[in-house]
Amino acid sequence: MPSFRTTRRVKHSPADMFDLVADVEKYPLFVPLCSALRVRSRQPQDDGRLVMVADMTVAYKLIRETFGSRVTMDREKLQILVEYLDGPFSHLENRWSFKDDGAGGCVVEFFIDYSFRSRTLGMLMGAMFEAAFRRFAEAFEKRADVVYGRKAIAAS
Q: What is the pLDDT of residue 101?
A: 95
Phi, psi of 48, rounded to the nearest 5 degrees:
95, -10
Per-residue pLDDT band for 156 (boundaries 50, 70, 90) equals very low
* Residue 22 to residue 85: CA distance in whole angstroms: 18
Residues 6+ apart with CB under 8 A from 123: none
Q: What is the pLDDT of residue 151?
A: 65
What residues pair up with 6 in beta bridges, in sequence order? Answer: 110
- What DSSP element (H or E) covers 134? helix 119-148
Phi, psi of 126, rounded to the nearest 5 degrees:
-55, -55
DSSP state of 62: T
Residue of 108, 125, 12, 115 lying closest to 58 (CA atoms): 125
pLDDT 10s digits, 44-86: 999 999 999 999 998 878 888 899 999 999 999 999 999 999 9
What's CA 77's distance to the chain center, in Å?
Answer: 16
pLDDT 10s digits, 13-54: 999 999 999 999 999 999 988 999 999 999 999 999 999 999
Q: Which domains, and CATH codes, for the chain?
A: 3-148 (3.30.530.20)
